[in-house]
Amino acid sequence: MQRILLNGLAALTLALGPVAARAQHHDHGAASAAPATLGASAAVADWTPAELRKLDLAALKVTLKHGEIRNLAMPPMTMVFHVRDAAQLQGLKVGDPVRFRAERREGGGFVVVEIQKAD
């Protein structure tokens, strides 16, 4: 009985193996294709998903709970960013899902060069 079960599992693993391998290759292909569709802006700074946690219009600062920022080699975290242009914060409110592009700022810290509400 147990022998039959093990044989069954082995057959299942063999059957699923190639499917899993193909799925991984598919994901990898999709990820590497993404920067090409974003065009030149991807070379400047990647779009990163985040949640808007705090807005300080007077100080031109936002607190973002952000995903990995590839162009800054930064892992996901919650932190404060400077904002270059206050106009980009119009229509955004705390709790909004957003996407943004950030760069290292002259004089320290990081600056959001573009931010928009995510769908």
Footprint on this chain of Cu ion (rule: CB under 5 A) = 74, 77, 79
Least distance from Cu ion to the Cβ atom of residue 84, Å: 17
* Cα–Cα dist 114/119, whole Å: 16
Tokens describing residue 112:
């959001």
Residue closer to Cu ion, measured from CB, 41 or 78: 78
Least distance from Cu ion to the Cβ atom of residue 39, Å: 25
Tokens describing residue 39:
């065009």
Measured in whole angstroms, the distance separating CA 91 from the mean position of its chain's CA atoms is 22
Residue closer to Cu ion, measured from CB, 42 or 79: 79
Tokens describing residue 46:
């990647």
Least distance from Cu ion to the Cβ atom of residue 110, Å: 7
